[in-house]
Amino acid sequence: MSRIINNRDLDLSFTRHPFTNDVNQFVESDSIKRSLRNLLSFKKYEKPFHPEISSGIFDSLFENFSPLFADAAKTLVKNLIEKYEPRVNLYDVVFLPNIDANRISLTLIYTIANSTTPVNFTFSIARNR
């Protein structure tokens, strides 16, 4: 028996839908992409009562990028997504560093539950000064 998942989130800019005059909604893959971006953007102690929800990537933007760092960060991101985003079957995480700009681009390759179509989602994390 397969379960049906209805993936809908509200657009937090609260823009009005032109036909229904209701708040816009993100549907299916857009909803999941937004959730993944939010999950990876949390810093430690930023989510109330859940200090364990943190990717730790923002803390390491000034660290030396090495294969060891990429492997540790990849494992951390995989564990975070598998634990807190059950709508996603994650296959791979690819890190592309831009050392001069203190920016990391990561690409998540996943499928949505009850789907076989792979989705590539690229997300960039930069240090704000």
d(CA 44, CA 124): 18
DSSP character at residue 16: B
pLDDT, tens digit, 9 for 90 and up, residues 75-111: 888 988 999 888 889 999 988 877 777 778 889 999 9
- Domain assignment present for residue 102? The answer is yes
Q: Residue 77's closest CA among 99, 61, 58, 57?
A: 57
How many domains does the structure of the chain reveal? 1
The whole-model pTM stands at 0.71
d(CA 89, CA 68): 24
- Domain assignment present for residue 16? The answer is no
CATH number at residue 70: 3.10.450.40
- Domain assignment present for residue 115? The answer is yes
- Domain assignment present for residue 29? The answer is no
What's the start-to-end Cα distance of the chain, in Å?
50
| Domain housing 54 | 34-126
- Domain assignment present for residue 110? The answer is yes
Q: How far is CA 73 from the centre of its chain?
A: 13
